């Protein structure tokens, strides 16, 4: 029986209409689907990374080396940023009864992520601040590492809070412009305040550090708002308002309140020295899974 469907000839071969459609469908759709699949895995790519920031000597480089080597390795003060690629298996290390850690063999190298270590010296902090990028294929999450054992010293507390304030302002500014340019509000970026060195007896617990930081950030904000009111005498100045963290009508800073300004904060204690970093690693895993 002769086919009712029209037939074409390509290179002298008869081709029916359904075959032609299926071929075109495969040729056009397969590359599109493949590129979508690959871009959804972009957290593996070099343009997506965890940013490691925080004051000097807090243990940022030690944490990076700890993830690589599973032990505390001697470090030197960082003067430049360094990015390393790590398998996601390092976040799922198994701790045996004798305290030894190992990476499960089957997941050790399946996927990877990048971690960017930055120097904590006040003059070099711009390296971290300019790395913050809330756009697509950018920061997966930010780890702000601090030394839990020095926060009872006022100068060290002020230094830590000044850095955190600057970092949160950069996030807020970027989030504001992202929100203005997109129809729906973008997701806040996850930020872990990693309270390191809790093996030291002067270390404060994370709950106390959390309250201390919110109070000090509030104080810093109050000072900036007061300066603004006195200087501006009621005039609005966009540049100065950019220096106010969170709600510009309040002196308070709370983690919940900062959520609508683009950041989701979690505060967790740990110690690289006593290989106690599980909560930081599971926070990183949850960012990769999100």
Ligand X SMILES: Nc1nc2c(ncn2[C@@H]2O[C@H](COP(=O)(O)OP(=O)(O)OP(=O)(O)O)[C@@H](O)[C@H]2O)c(=O)[nH]1
Note the residues at the interface with ligand X (CB under 6 A).
Answer: 56-62, 72, 75, 77-78, 119-121, 196-197, 199-200, 271-273
* 272: partner contacted, choices ligand X, Mg ion, none (Cβ within 5-8 A by kind): ligand X
Measured CA to CA, the distance from residue 251 to residue 181 in angstroms comes to 28
Least Å distance, CB 160 to ligand X, is: 12
Least Å distance, CB 32 to ligand X, is: 44
* 197: partner contacted, choices ligand X, Mg ion, none (Cβ within 5-8 A by kind): ligand X
Task: Please count the helices (runs of H) and the strands (runs of E) in the chain.
Answer: 8, 10
The nearer residue to ligand X, 75 or 285, going by C-beta atoms, is 75
Residue in 78, 148, 198, 268 binding Mg ion, rule: CB under 5 A = 78
Cα torsion 180, 185, 187, 189 to 10°: value is 30
Measured CA to CA, the distance from residue 244 to residue 222 in angstroms comes to 9
Q: How far is CA 226 from CA 56, 161, 235, 261, in A?
A: 30, 18, 13, 21
The nearer residue to Mg ion, 59 or 262, going by C-beta atoms, is 59
Contact call for residue 210 and Mg ion (CB under 5 A): no
* 20: partner contacted, choices Mg ion, ligand X, none (Cβ within 5-8 A by kind): none
* Residue whose beta carbon is closest to ligand X: 120
Least Å distance, CB 143 to ligand X, is: 11
Of 61-69, 158-166, 198-206, 275-283, which part binds Mg ion (CB under 5 A)? 61-69
The nearer residue to ligand X, 63 or 113, going by C-beta atoms, is 63
SS (H, E, C) 145-207: EEECCCCCCHHHHHHHHHHHHHHHHHHHHHHHHHHHHCCCCCCCEEEEEEEECCCCCCCCCHH
SS3 96: coil
Least Å distance, CB 117 to Mg ion, is: 6
Least Å distance, CB 203 to Mg ion, is: 20
Least Å distance, CB 267 to ligand X, is: 16
* 56: partner contacted, choices Mg ion, ligand X, none (Cβ within 5-8 A by kind): ligand X
E-assigned strands of the chain?
A: 7-10, 13-16, 49-53, 82-87, 94-95, 101-102, 112-117, 139-147, 189-196, 263-269
């Amino acid at each position: 029986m002769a086919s009712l469907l029209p037939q074409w000839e390509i290179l002298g071969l008869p081709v029916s209409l359904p075959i032609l459609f299926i071929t075109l469908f495969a040729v056009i759709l397969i590359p599109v689907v493949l590129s979508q699949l690959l871009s959804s895995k972009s957290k593996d790519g070099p343009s997506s990374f965890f940013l490691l920031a925080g004051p000097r000597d807090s243990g940022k480089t030690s944490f990076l080396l700890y993830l690589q080597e599973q032990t505390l390795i001697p470090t030197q003060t960082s003067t430049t940023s360094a990015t390393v690629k790590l398998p996601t298996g390092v976040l799922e290390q198994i701790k045996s009864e004798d305290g030894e850690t190992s990476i499960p063999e089957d997941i050790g190298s399946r996927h990877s992520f990048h971690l960017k270590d930055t120097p904590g010296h006040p003059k070099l902090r711009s390296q971290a601040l300019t790395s913050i990028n809330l756009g697509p294929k950018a920061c997966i999450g930010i780890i702000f590492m601090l030394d839990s054992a020095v926060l009872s010293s006022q100068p060290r507390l002020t230094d830590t809070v000044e850095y955190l304030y600057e970092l949160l302002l950069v996030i807020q500014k970027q989030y504001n412009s992202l929100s203005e340019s997109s129809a729906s509000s973008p997701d806040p970026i996850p930020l872990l305040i990693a309270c390191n060195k809790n093996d030291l007896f002067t270390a404060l617990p994370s709950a106390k550090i959390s309250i201390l930081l919110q109070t000090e950030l509030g104080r810093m904000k109050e000072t900036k708002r007061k300066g603004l009111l006195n200087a501006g005498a009621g005039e609005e100045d966009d540049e100065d308002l950019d220096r106010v963290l969170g709600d510009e009508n309040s002196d308070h800073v709370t983690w919940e309140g900062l959520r609508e300004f683009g950041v989701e904060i979690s505060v967790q204690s740990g110690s690289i020295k006593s290989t106690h970093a599980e909560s930081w690693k599971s926070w990183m895993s949850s960012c990769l899974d999100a």
